[in-house]
Structure formats: structure tokens, C-alpha cells
Amino acid sequence: MMADRVKALALPVSLLLIFEIWARSVHLHSDSLAPPSAIVVALWSALADGAILTATRDTLLSAFAGLFLGGSIGLALGILLGLLQPVDRLMEVTIEAIRPIPSIALLPIALIALGFGYRMEIAIVGFACVWPVLILTRAAVREVEPRLMEVSHALRLSPADRVRKIVVPAALPRIFVAFRLAAGIALIVAVTVEIAINPIGLGAAIMAAQQGLQADLMLAYLFWIGLIGFGLNAGLNLMQARLFGRAALVRDDA
């Protein structure tokens, strides 16, 4: 297992080495590329002066707050629409009309309405996160074993108890998958908002480094964002496996 992982690393490491040698041999003169060694040095200095950590905090704070906000709305709507078919039919046109709007297209309005800072970013991330959670939750709720619903009827559970005791536990593994998907989207949207407009976080730091003609620092931030995305996904996968065990693995393919 371990040996396989080492083998898998062989290709990217050799590519980096080749790039390093090439960059040094041609005395790379670029505002967009930098040798890997320079990127490592830039990453180290950004970590040492705390700049990268502050930017990471800003980006993750916005991404998670947006995920929480959008996810909660998506979850509530998803359960509602999954349980009540007439409401689902009634809302279908509205949802399908709003859903395709790219969250980034809302930036100009969001900037004027909310200004720079966390609020605008959280609102945009929240908007982007509503839809995957809503749609996957709705599907998950609809696919709850009919016999479980019959049991809830037989027990004469109140609607709130039915959701709490039957629907959510039965649909939870798939709802978690929805949140995992939304977490990835949240990070992408947060960084994009920062690159486009918001002067905080990792996206803004990439732009500042690019405009400061510091390609090494720009790529260091890019690498760091990749690491964060990887870490986030790995953490959520681990959580999913721990919380739902085999149920999660089966459902993940669905």
C-alpha cells in the first residue's frame, strides 16, 4: 500500500525536477512561472510572516460560513420538497429558474449591496451551496425506504418527529455526500470571489502577488490552495467513513 503511494509520487516529483532543471538552464524569465525551488522558498516566507495563515483564515471562514448558511437552507428546502410532492411541483419552475444562475454572476450586485468583506463572500458562497444540497437531499428523502414511512404513519408520529426520527437518519449518508460536494464548491467559489473582487483571503493574495510580479509567491498560494482543497476533501472522506461506515461507501456510488 505504502509502496504504491510512493510509486504514485514518482511521476509528479520527476516532472517537478525536470521543470526545475529546465527553468534553471534557460534562466526562466517569466511573470507567470517560477522554478519549484523558488515557489517553496516563497511559500516558506509567506508561512513565516503569517500572511498565508491570515489569508487562509479569511477564505475558510467565508467558505464554511457560506456552506453552513447555504447548506442549511438547501437541507431544509430539500427535506420539505422531498416529503411534499405538491410543494415540489409548485416550486419546480422557480428553483429551476434560479439554480442555473452562476453564483459569480451575482458579484456586481452583491458588491454594491453588501460591500467588500465576509458578508458578500458568504452570501455568494451560500447561494452556490444551496443547490447541490437541496437537490441531493430531496432525492435522498424521496428514496427513503417506503416501509419506514409506513412505520412512521403506523406510529402516528407528528410531521416533525417523522423528519427527526425517520427521514433524516435514513437519508443522512446521502445528505453528507451532498455536504461534501458543497464543501468543494464553497472553497472554489470563495477563492473565485476573492480573485474577482473581494480584497481578502487567498484569492486576493494570489492577485496581489501576480500584480506585484511575484510569480513564485503567486504559485505558492496556488499550491497552498490545492493543499487545503486536498486536506478538506480527505478530512470529509474520513469523517464520512467514520460516521457512516459501509453505508457511506455504498451510497457514495449512487
What are the residues binding other proteins (CB under 8 A)?
Answer: 29-33, 108, 111-117, 195-197, 199, 204, 207-214
- Name the minimum Å distance from CB 103 to other proteins: 17
Toward other proteins, which CB reaches closer, 50 or 212?
Answer: 212
Toward other proteins, which CB reaches closer, 109 or 250?
Answer: 109
- Name the minimum Å distance from CB 14 to other proteins: 25
Q: What are phi and psi of 232, to 5 degrees?
A: -60, -45
- Determine the Cα–Cα distance for residues 114 and 78; give it in Å rounded to an integer: 27
Toward other proteins, which CB reaches closer, 87 or 213?
Answer: 213
Toward other proteins, which CB reaches closer, 191 or 248?
Answer: 191
Toward other proteins, which CB reaches closer, 185 or 204?
Answer: 204
- Name the minimum Å distance from CB 166 to other proteins: 46
DSSP string, the chain: -HHHHHHHHHHHHHHHHHHHHHHHHTT---SS---HHHHHHHHHHHHHTTHHHHHHHHHHHHHHHHHHHHHHHHHHHHHHHHH-HHHHHHHHHHHHHHTTS-GGGGHHHHHHHH-SSHHHHHHHHHHHHHHHHHHHHHHHHHTS-HHHHHHHHHTT--HHHIIIIIIHHHHHHHHHHHHHHHHHHHHHHHHHHHHHT--SHHHHHHHHHHHTT-HHHHHHHHHHHHHHHHHHHHHHHHHHHHHHTHHHHHHHT-
- Name the minimum Å distance from CB 20 to other proteins: 19
- Name the minimum Å distance from CB 94 to other proteins: 28
Toward other proteins, which CB reaches closer, 5 or 29?
Answer: 29
| CB 153, CB 112: distance < 8 Å | no
- Determine the Cα–Cα distance for residues 35 and 220; give it in Å rounded to an integer: 11
- Name the minimum Å distance from CB 218 to other proteins: 8
Toward other proteins, which CB reaches closer, 111 or 181?
Answer: 111
- Name the minimum Å distance from CB 195 to other proteins: 7
